[in-house]
Structure 1
Amino acid sequence: MKILSMVLLLITFQSFAKSQDGVVVHILPDQLVLSKSCVARADIQSKEFSIIYACIDSQNTMYFYNFRLNNVDLVSDFKKNATDVVVNKSHFKSYTLYELTAKNSDNKPIKFVSYCTKEVCLDLVSDDEYEKSIQDSITAQLQS
């Protein structure tokens, strides 16, 4: 049943998502318009339900928008799997904003930004440094 629900949600989500200006997403209280390069994926094997948009910026760097339920302690999870973890927590409108920097097991820097409401989170993550304009675009679109 979980797989069927996720597939139906993803199909419905995609049918409303296409736009001339990009991909329109209606999961957070605010509508977000993502780059046309973004493609939705659902990980049906994951323990936690999420919808992931894989995107490519103008420098051909792949980055991801992960829309998930807000039921995971992200900070503790990061501290278990990374070193030199620094967390900046702030409030932005009705969102709690977490900006995390760390080093992975290969000693490569990781930057992670998460916008959370009580119910859902949007995680912006990349293996490399994504363009700052991507985070700025999200922040500019959040109205609630």
Structure 2
Amino acid sequence: MKILSILALFITFQVSAYSQDGVVVHILPDKLVLSKSCVARADVQSKEFSIIYACKDSQNVMYFYNFRLNNVDLVADFKQNSTDVVVNESQFKSYTLYELTAKNSDNKPIKFVSYCTKDLCLDLVSDDEFEKSIQDSITSQLRG
């Protein structure tokens, strides 16, 4: 199943296309349109295969969409590497939604939102506070 999921992520990366509205990403079971400011990167050599889109919001704050396999317990990872971790877990349609806030080793706030199906996750992360409209855009597009 892991090989099939990696193939699905790789195909997602390959079939991403630009439209008038932005970058179209096909992620099972939904299609998302990301901002035109997003640039895709894939690291197939890393231990955890993922596809990352680096973007900037209207305030020039960098944020990232990370499409990855759902094979890592990120909550435990955050609790191990951060302080003051607050986790809100809920169901959103066919997704499990994790909203995490924490402080990194430099005591800077980290916001992390993850939409997960059984096999795949979309993580939205930034070292700074990204605009709420970015998360709202994802939420409005997810139908699954």
Structure-2 separation of matches of 1:17 and 1:113: 24
Which moves more between the two structures, 26-35 or 111-120? 26-35
Deviating beyond 4 angstroms after TM superposition, the runs of 4 or more aligned structure 1 residues are none
In structure 2, what is the equivalent of residue 38 of structure 1? 38
Q: TM-score, normalised by structure 2?
A: 0.90
What's the C-alpha RMSD, in Å, of the aligned pairs? 1.9
Structure-2 separation of matches of 1:49 and 1:17: 21
Paired residue total: 139
Displacement after TM superposition at 1:44 (Å): 3.1
Q: TM-score, normalised by structure 1?
A: 0.90
How far does the alpha carbon of each residue in 1:17-67 deviate from its partner, in whole angstroms, 9 at most, with x for none?
221210000123110000011010012342100000000111001100000
In structure 2, what is the equivalent of residue 82 of structure 1? 82
Alignment pair present for 1:134 and 2:134 = yes
Structure-2 separation of matches of 1:135 and 1:81: 24
Q: Which runs of 5+ in 1 are unaligned?
A: none
More strand by share: 2
**Contact between 1:24 and 1:32, CA under 8 Å: does it hold in 2?**
yes
Which moves more between the two structures, 107-116 or 17-26? 17-26
Structure-2 separation of matches of 1:42 and 1:93: 28
In structure 2, what is the equivalent of residue 116 of structure 1? 116
Residues 30, 15 of structure 1: CA spacing in aligned structure 2 closer, same or farther, 3 A cutoff? closer
Question: What are the equivalent positions in structure 2 for 1:37-56 lying under 5 Å apart?
Answer: 37-56=37-56
How far does the alpha carbon of each residue in 1:91-123 deviate from its partner, in whole angstroms, 9 at most, with x for none?
000000000011100001111000000010000
